[in-house]
Amino acid sequence: MTVELSQDARSARAWRDEADILRERAGRVDTLEQEVTRYRDKMADIEFYKTRVEELREDNSCVLLVAVLNKSSTWENNILQLKQTINQITIERDADRERLQELMEENAQLHFSTKSSLGESATLSAQLDHLRKAQQLSNGLSVGSDLIGDAQARVLKLQLENQRLEAELEQVKRDASMSASNDKLLELEKENKRLSLKELGQKDKSLLLESLEESERRHQDTQRLHQTINTVKTNSQRHIDELQQENTHLLDLIESLRERQKKSTDTRLLDTETENKKLTDVNFQLQSQVSRWNMRSNN
């Protein structure tokens, strides 16, 4: 009996130690489940940040597109204004060329008229000299005097006409010079407009390149962030899988230990019942013997 009680005590201590180990492992399972829950929350946060990154990428693309469209609208307006200015300058240049052509034709006519007037004036001067000589020979005839008067009046008229033509010729020269200056000024204005347009195009091109570079930098940053998120997601998923495997293993181990404990308890209960039955039989036999001994003693 003492040996059996000692064995029962050792078994009880073993079961108590095993129960402590199971409680410790069960506590670890709770900790692992909490950690799995925490990692699942982190996975949800990662999905949120991933969605947010995609939204920011779309917003960035929209902002860049709007900026390019605004710049394109500005460029189109500038180009239209410059085209209108060029058309206006072209019309003014054509008008100046027509005016210059008219002035040149008028100048040629004035040159021809001046030459004709000079020739006629020379002819009249020769006739006047001839008449003067004739007047000297005729001793002051009235007809010669009238002819001389007419000739002098005609010469004076031609001289006045010649002066007027010379003045108009000078004016035509000045107008031609002014037209040439205007034409030169027009060319300079066109060159200035062309250079301004070129400079504006360079500035807009530089601004567009800067916008594209900034967009490329943001895209690269977004790609790096996306890669980081994927790496964290992969590591977290691997850790979660490992924890789930360990949790499953511990649950299987606990279930196995429970089955073993149940079987051992059933076996011990059966053994105890058998031993109890044996002890009952022995007790009954002892009581029978005691009764027989008492009966013998009384007899």
Listed in sequence order, the residues at least 6 apart from 68 whose beta carbon sits closer than 8 Å to its beta carbon are 208, 211
Tokens of 238: 């691997």
pLDDT in tens, 5-44: 566 667 667 776 766 676 676 667 677 777 777 877 877 7
**pLDDT bracket for residue 280 (50, 70, 90):** confident
pLDDT in tens, 88-122: 877 877 787 787 777 777 767 766 766 666 666 66
Grouping H, G, I as helix, E, B as strand and the rest as coil, residue 267 is: helix
| Alpha carbon distance 262, 269 (integer Å) | 10
**pLDDT bracket for residue 2 (50, 70, 90):** low
Residue scoring higher pLDDT (293 or 55): 55
pLDDT in tens, 211-246: 667 667 776 776 776 677 677 667 767 766 776 676
Rounded alpha-carbon distances, angstroms, from residue 209 to 68, 71, 203: 11, 12, 10
Tally of domains within the chain:
1
Is 181 a residue whose pLDDT tops 60? no
Q: What integer pLDDT is reported at residue 140 of this predicted model?
A: 45
Indicate the average pLDDT of the chain: 68
Instruction: Report the pLDDT averaged over residues 188-192.
Output: 63
Neighbours of 117 (CB within 10 A): 20
Domain extent at residue 44: 2-298
pTM over cut 0.75: no
First and final C-alpha spacing in the chain:
35
Query: To 5 degrees, how large is the angle CA 249–CA 253–CA 259?
Result: 145
Q: What integer pLDDT is reported at residue 139 of this predicted model?
A: 47
**pLDDT bracket for residue 144 (50, 70, 90):** very low
